[in-house]
Amino acid sequence: MTTNNEQLRELQPAIISYAKDLPNLCSLFGLACTVLAIYFSITGVYYAAMIGMIWAVAFDWADGLIARRMKGRTGRDRIFGGQLDLLIDIVSYGVTPAILLLSFGEFAPLLLPIAFIVLAASAIRLSYFSTFGLSDESKYTGLALDNNNIALVFIFLFESVFTFGVFTVVLCVSALVLAALNVSQIKTPKFSGNLRNVYLLAIYTIGITSIYGWKLL
């Protein structure tokens, strides 16, 4: 028994060794963008937060694209990368939008249930797909979580058009609609698996970064 345990420990790679895997490294860059988005949301620099949110999506899509094209990755590499993605996704697409809503609404207690629904929908969706996987490689059941950030950074472009109170309502309603779509049974295309969509996201990311970067000046 002791010999078997020792052999198992010898076969197990060091935890930090997975940080050198290029797709995982890309995922961690996305997490860094998410941390910046959370920081700027809390401090009220929302335009910078939007840039962090969209770049989190860009890195999320990039890690999948890189992983599919890399050769020599083992089954354990893929499992670890998948688990890392899940954990980062709950922060990027659940925690971050929830904090954005709370911060923009000046942390009003009435926004707590909405923030909870957004986060709960994200957790339920990720748990569901961690359990059952994809039934169709080309389509998702419900709206993929990365679309939450893509939609919210676009909606936030109109923040200056409305009064503070009206846009807070717009943001909350949008987040609730997205949460409902996340856990719905509707079929939606798997955008991230298409190379053309990756290029479109790259253009969108650069455009969003330019617009919000200009607004920050």
Output the tens digit of pLDDT for each of the chain's 217 residues.
555 555 555 578 888 988 888 889 999 999 999 999 999 999 999 999 999 999 999 999 998 888 777 777 777 888 898 899 999 999 999 999 999 999 999 999 999 999 999 999 999 999 998 888 776 667 888 999 999 999 999 999 999 999 999 999 999 999 999 999 999 999 888 887 677 888 999 999 999 999 999 999 9
DSSP class of 141: E
CB 149, CB 54: distance < 8 Å: yes
pLDDT of residue 81: 86
**Given the structure tokens 């925690």, which residue do they identify?**
95
The answer to the question of residue 41 being in a domain is yes
The answer to the question of residue 206 being in a domain is yes
Question: 3-class DSSP state for residue 142?
Answer: coil
How many angstroms separate the CA atoms of 122 and 116, rounded? 10
CATH of residue 99's domain is 1.20.120
**Cβ partners under 8 Å of residue 100, min gap 6:** 37, 41, 46, 49, 53, 152, 171
- Helices marked H in 20-145 — which ranges? 22-42, 46-69, 75-90, 96-104, 112-132
Q: Which amino acid is at 38?
A: I
pLDDT of residue 215: 96
Handedness of CA 60, 62, 65, 68 (dihedral sign): negative
pLDDT of residue 76: 84
The answer to the question of residue 195 being in a domain is yes
The answer to the question of residue 63 being in a domain is yes
The answer to the question of residue 3 being in a domain is no
The answer to the question of residue 8 being in a domain is no
pLDDT of residue 211: 98
Handedness of CA 199, 203, 208, 210 (dihedral sign): positive
pLDDT of residue 135: 64
Q: Which domain holds residue 176?
A: 18-216
**Count of structural domains, the chain:** 1
**Given the structure tokens 């993605």, which residue do they identify?**
85
What is the crossing angle of helices 146-155 and 96-104, to 10°? 30
**Given the structure tokens 């997205």, which residue do they identify?**
178
How many angstroms separate the CA atoms of 186 and 120, rounded? 19
The answer to the question of residue 9 being in a domain is no
The answer to the question of residue 113 being in a domain is yes
- String of DSSP letters for 111-140: GHHHHHHHHHHHHHHHHHHHHH--SBTTEE
